[in-house]
Structure 1
Amino acid sequence: MSREFYYRLAWRARSVQPGSHATRTSGGSADFRGYVPFLENPNPRRIDLRASLRAFPKQLMVRAYHERGAIAVYAILDLSASMRFSGNSNKAQLMADITASIAWSTQRNGDAFGLVACDDALRNDLFEAPSYRRGVADDVYEKLMNIPNLAQMSASALPSAVTQLRSKRSLVFLISDYHLDERLLKETLDSLSTHDVVPVVLWDSAEYRDIPEWGWARVRDLETGGDQSLFLRPSLVKRIKASYAIRRAEIVASCSLAGTRLPFFVEDHFDVEALTRHMLEAS
């Protein structure tokens, strides 16, 4: 069963579909926007006598509201080879769990969920157009758990993912391990600049933290398929851990420069309550 988290927006949606988010469309009764002359909004039930007495020149004033509307929420997935890493957790499993949780939470909130997946090309076999249909979370989870292990792939198509999104501003979860070169990361974030982007970073502690300090290790670069033998020692392990700390800071800086929300780091397991806190605090 997918777990639900909660989110809110710091911007007003442009939507005619009823929902839970503030919009710029006049109407409704829940989102007060101010007082307007009666002739601008001739609704006798919303006449406010105190506001009318304060008005200059004297005229009848009524309470005006904004409508509440729905938005599109997307998950954009990095399907590069490094996302198949399995250590203290399985990144592919984590990605499926998080994506299903996003789909389920979106449906529960009355929004439309869409999915775009990329490796070296846009994966049309996994694409989901934004919809409100029931069961989308289960369908997405099943799709992602049955992706075949392909040959070494990068995520070079990520900047093209924006072509699959609606032009209206949407909430976008960009899910990746962010083992991307800086040029590709910048192009991807820049391409999504008109949307509200939540970077979700999937790391595994076995990649850098839970490493023996002594001994031989055989490592493989999943992106290139190359193998290498390393003699682990405290100084090397220290450098590996330091490189991840630097990379974390670089990801935060890149996201900040691109104007996205702060990245949400997931290590080994997905904490739905932590994501709720992250989403609400960032708003």
Structure 2
Amino acid sequence: MTGEALHLFDMLAWQLARALPGVRAGSHRARLRGGGDVFADTAAFLAHPDPRRIDLRRSLTDPFESLIVRRFEARNDLTVHLLLDASASLCTGARSDRAGLARMLAAGIAEAAWRGRDRFAITAIGGDDVLLSLGASRSRSMPSQVYEAVATLVPKGRGVEGLVRIATSLPRDRILVVLISDFEHDSTELRQLLAALDPRPVWPLWLRDSGLETPRGHFGIAEIRDPETGRRRAVLTTRRWAAAETETHAWHRKVLRDVFSEFGLRPVEIRDQIDVAALATALDEAPL
């Protein structure tokens, strides 16, 4: 993968919308209040009795004549862990290469994590099997390694059992989970996966294909591959068939959006191609 392509992801700002727990030094805000190098707020001396941090100006102007101390926060070390759903449906496409999009996103996010001085890790799951696992690292070569490794993946399997197993094993703090999937799952499976990831901050990236969602209604015979099982079958394509497929996909998306909403998540829906600027905006607004 060329450096020019990777640099497109530099605009991703790895600043979480909420404070993360933890005490290790890093570049992100932490929940810990007290010692540290970044001013957080002020508090009453009785609540935080540290005479070294008395704020004389605030204390003298306090209407209740209380002693006020300044509180600081430590910086938090973050790991960006990319969880890739590499089930068989990733190879199914009509107007987009969803496997290619996943490859570009994985390498691009690794690049953004490196530039943000965060560790990056990736696990790719196909059905019940771990197809790729790279441990957390700040290596400069990680983005290229990720691109090459994901390029050799052969998506397989179906379901979320493997994803759930890995999700439950991830650390609960100092982590941002980036979940890349086409989400060709039913609501029960998605709810099971998100429950396994909770309470970790999750940023879902939803790979969509407009050709599958809104097929053309030209009369004829087409070979259709089931998005999740990969099985092929011949169908008679008509306007009525196309309308029914469009309606089914629209309903499926609505159901999944409702499940995401239950967990306070709003997935970034990538339809056919990647818009890095939109990704950066979505990350800045994500309810993490």
TM-score interval, smaller chain: 0.7 to 0.9
Contact 1:116 1:164 (8 Å CA) reproduced = no
1:196 aligns with 2:208: no
Aligned counterpart, 1:268: 272
* Deviation (angstroms), 1:171: 1.4
RMSD, aligned CA:
2.4
Aligned counterpart, 1:30: 38
2:154 counterpart SS class: coil
Aligned counterpart, 1:220: 225
Contact 2:122 2:132 (8 Å CA) reproduced = yes
* Deviation (angstroms), 1:97: 0.8
Contact 2:84 2:125 (8 Å CA) reproduced = yes
Aligned counterpart, 1:142: 148
2:199 counterpart SS class: coil
Contact 2:222 2:237 (8 Å CA) reproduced = yes
Aligned counterpart, 1:48: 55
1:93 aligns with 2:97: no
Contact 1:13 1:70 (8 Å CA) reproduced = no
Contact 2:106 2:146 (8 Å CA) reproduced = yes
Aligned counterpart, 2:91: 84
1:254 counterpart SS class: helix
TM-score, L = length of structure 2: 0.87
Aligned counterpart, 2:173: 168
User: Residues 253, 271 of structure 1: CA spacing in aligned structure 2 closer, same or farther, 3 A cutoff?
Assistant: same
Gaps of 5+ in 2: none
Query: Which of 227, 246, 250 matches 2:251?
Result: 246
Cα distance in 1 for partners of 2:204, 2:280 equals 14
Contact 2:42 2:68 (8 Å CA) reproduced = no
Cα distance in 2 for partners of 1:112, 1:200 equals 19
The number of aligned residues is 278
Deviates more, 1:48-57 or 1:106-115: 48-57
Identical aligned residues as a percent: 29
Aligned counterpart, 2:189: 184
Cα distance in 1 for partners of 2:94, 2:280 equals 26
The residue type equivalent to 1:171 in the other structure is: L
* Deviation (angstroms), 1:189: 0.7
* Deviation (angstroms), 1:225: 4.1
Gaps of 5+ in 1: none
* Deviation (angstroms), 1:155: 4.1
Moved segments of 4+, more than 6 Å:
none
